[in-house]
Structure 1
Amino acid sequence: MNKVKRLEILTRLRDHEPHPTTELVFRSPFELLIAVLLSAQATDVSVNKATVGLFAEAPTPEAMLALGVDGVKQHIRTIGLFNTKAINVIKTCQLLVEKHQGCVPENREALEALPGVGRKTANVVLNTAFGWPTIAVDTHIFRVANRTKFAPGKNVDIVEQKLLSVVPAAFKVNCHHWFILHGRYTCIARKPRCGSCLIEDLCEYKDKTE
């Protein structure tokens, strides 16, 4: 995989989806933060189903605190690890109110200090809510980066750093959305849909499917 191939891959992904974004449904940085926190080991579809009612009742940290842990649980019972996530949601809201005037901080260190928020979640919030050129590496991006040889690495941290170093600045803001969508719908885990892949001729995966 070389610079010319990477540029062509990104160009094709951009031309196919010029304005990509997360498939999580949100109306504010706060709702995005909570949705991403809930999405760990869960699908975006399942999170969206749960947050429709949750955000209608509690669209702010203050309203979420009024619901309490049990109130949050009632809305997110269909999501995996809902007990732990409900506790983290309430603790996060407490910190947002106490330390950030009820606003989501545009700061990596402050975000990662919130319960249940790791580097990947912080990257998503900084990118999608605030337009930072961060790349949040989830399972889809990790698979696509390794399988195509675009930015291979043994763990998500290595892949993230490689992507940040090889993706041109003009593509950085949208890169992780393109890779997620590509991994979710084309370069799927068990049997990639190589026959309908728009970057098949550039991909360096050896065991391509029809």
Structure 2
Amino acid sequence: MSAPVETRPAPVPDSPPPGPGQPRRIGAGMLDPTQLWRALPQALRKLNPVTLFRNPVMFVTEVGAALTTGIAVVHPSLFGWLITGWLWLTVVFANLAEAVAESRGKAQADSLRRTRQQTTAWRLAGWEPGATQDAYLEEAVAASELRRGDIVSVPAGELIPGDGDVIQGAASVDESAITGESAPVIRESGGDRSAVTGGTRVLSDHLVVRITQEPGQSFL
């Protein structure tokens, strides 16, 4: 049985840098006033001692800020108010940084979910190790239609459509969207480097992956 001819879309190139006069997007590592403003309510809610108790260092700092506030009210002094102000600023900014990190993480995860849902997977029907190309069928399906046990082909430049294990091949994989680590990692069949995560991108070579998670049960 001969395999149908499928035309793979070419990998989408990276966007070129903005030209003169064009707006430049603010990177994830840069200060975004809008994001800080949106995270401020969440940071203030984290001042609740019950919530802050999970972070012992900041909980002790908040208790110290409350005590110095009482002392500054009873015995007003410039030094007392300065210490009180610095302690409260420390607590608020620590909560703000945590709220911003949570917001960015949630936005990144949502973006990866949407991207993976729109990803086309190349499912292999009847594939076995060492099989020639005319021994199995390769069909294009939506990544959301994949089920545990399905086998997919992932060439260089394409996204891995779901969580799984590499059963053939070796390739460098960009996992920065998941781990934040810019350096690519090697994923290969066998051993302890076979697990791959949906939404990561194959940078070189080619992988054959067996899906190990049902829809809705993946890492994301």
**Normalized against structure 2, the TM-score is what?**
0.25
Q: Which has the higher helix share?
A: 1
Q: Which has the higher strand share?
A: 2
